[in-house]
Amino acid sequence: MSDDPIADLIQSCANGDRAAFRVLYRDASAKLMGVLLRILSERPEAEDALQELYTRIWLRATKYDPAKGRGMTWLIALARNLAIDRLRSRPPRTSDDGLDMVVDAAPLAETRLIAKGEARRLNECFNQLEPERAEAVRGAYLAGLSYAELAEQYAVPLNTMRTWLRRSLLKLRECLEQ
């Protein structure tokens, strides 16, 4: 087994392993449903899309290349592409009263809950970094400070700051993919 259990399951599905397919569904369907719901906004359509997605996964599992990315990333890309295809195939909605032109800018409750959970996970991952490295990442990517400004602020050489940020981002990505 590799460090990417989803990739292992996809490769087992490519070999026709139905038990692995059931486990893949159990482990990934909730996240994929969230992706589909965010894009399609309608639960019945997202449920139909999820069913179609798993058919595509079964049929295309042989095309997955673990050297190109993690298993969940591949599944999310498939889900996203399917949802976008479905959006494009929708007939344009029009009505005589013009209400279809009014956009509700407030995020859906489900979207807010997902975002809150992701923010919590991100904070937990930031807490795993050394405090000054976490602050340097926040400074660079949230406050817009340059590498030179950060190097000066923390009294380290510019290349050291670049290394801090690169390694910290890798640790964050690793943490978020778990």
CA distance 8 to 20: 9
pLDDT attached to residue 3: 87
Give, to the nearest 10 degrees, the angle between helix 158-177 and helix 147-154: 100
pLDDT attached to residue 141: 79
pLDDT attached to residue 100: 59
The number of CA neighbours under 13 Å toward the Cβ of 100 is 6
Domains of the chain: 1-90 (1.10.1740.10), 109-178 (1.10.10.10)
CA distance 65 to 12: 13
pLDDT attached to residue 99: 60
C-beta of residue 87 within 8 angstroms of C-beta of residue 39 = yes
C-beta of residue 33 within 8 angstroms of C-beta of residue 44 = no
pTM for this structure?
0.52
pLDDT attached to residue 107: 64
Sign of the Cα pseudo-torsion (167, 170, 176, 178, in order): negative
CA distance 162 to 177: 23
Give residue-wise pLDDT tens across range 75-124.
Answer: 999 999 999 999 888 887 665 556 656 666 666 676 766 667 777 887 88
Mean pLDDT by groups of 10 residues along the chain of 178 residues: 86 94 94 92 93 94 91 93 90 64 65 72 84 87 84 91 90 83
CA distance 33 to 14: 22
